Structure 1
Amino acid sequence: MATQHKHHEHSGDRLVDEAGKVLADAGEQWTTMREDVFRALADHDRPASAYDIAEEVGKRRGKRVAANSVYRILDLFVRTNLANRIESANAYLANAHPGCRHDCIFLICDDCGQAEHFDDDKLTGALREAGKAHGYSDVRPVVELRGLCSECAA
């Protein structure tokens, strides 16, 4: 049975405010560009690429935004736990509970692209221990399960 975490999930302006606080607590600045990137990411209900985000932020700002600038910001968000990276899709999801550190297992629909996560400390803990047993430190499990969501399977 999966070990569940208790999270306070944020949304809307509250999520953006919490993300800014977490980033500031990490010693980073919450700039208007970073806020714009986070807002654009949080507006997506499916994983978004840096190019998707750059296009949206560019439209909001009325000028072109380079995808490499967005990549750097998204990498910062992943490091500070404001976003999660879906490795297999090179896409990102806003973390609805910023500041809460844990390993996520992602379920990704091969048809519609929807992604959701769940926690299973027993599974990710075993993966972390296996990495340590092979001489690795700071092991970060990245688990992605692909299939069809219930809507697409119906």
Structure 2
Amino acid sequence: MSIVHAHGQHDSRADLATAAQARLIGAGEQWTPLRATVFGALAGFDRPVSAYDVTDAVSATTGRRVAANSVYRILDLFVANNVASRVESANAFIANVHPDCPHDCIFLVCDRCGRATHIDDDRITGEVRAAATAAGFRPVRPVIEVRGLCADCS
């Protein structure tokens, strides 16, 4: 069965934060004030951003300098729990608008504006996993990113 769809944003950042909080707590993690602030900063961007961009936004929000390594650890926790995704080709992070989505992500990354559209296509990612398995490789997480121009920029 193939599921193909593009994900849009939640109605509000509060809805997105609530979904992220529920996901982390459900995984046995804590939703600390710093984690909430980091998530809020990440969700405030409309494109994938670096950990340093998130660090700067958190520092501006809190009025004190936050260590980049603390933000990196939190972002890694978010990725491990599907609360955020890492756009590998951009070395950047983006809030996952569907943290309970069980699909492997495919990102369409615009080279002009930097936005990334997340789509799911179980047929494509299943074939990538099957090809890896056939080659004697045990796939953990396929990374599929397509670079190009989004509809607004093309």
Distance 2:5 2:109 in 1: 20
Distance 1:54 1:101, change over 3 A: same
Which residue in the other structure is 2:25 paired with? 24
> What CA deviation, in whole Å up to 9, does each residue of 1:44-92 have, x standing for no partner?
1000110000001011111101111111111110110000100011101
Conserved 8 A contact 1:8-1:97: no
Which residue in the other structure is 2:38 paired with? 37
Distance 2:5 2:112 in 1: 28
What aligned pairs does 1:70-81 form with structure 2 within 5 A after superposition? Answer: 70-81=71-82
Distance 2:90 2:8 in 1: 27
Q: Output the amino acid matched with 1:3.
A: I
Q: Output the amino acid matched with 1:100.
A: C
Distance 2:50 2:102 in 1: 23
Unaligned runs of 5+ in 2: none
TM-score (norm 1): 0.91
Give the SS at the match of 2:98. coil
Which residue in the other structure is 2:66 paired with? 65
Which residue in the other structure is 2:135 paired with? 134
How far 1:105 sits from its partner (Å)?
0.9
Worse overlay, 119-128 or 97-106: 97-106
Superposition RMSD in Å: 2.0
* Paired residues, number: 153
TM-score (norm 2): 0.91
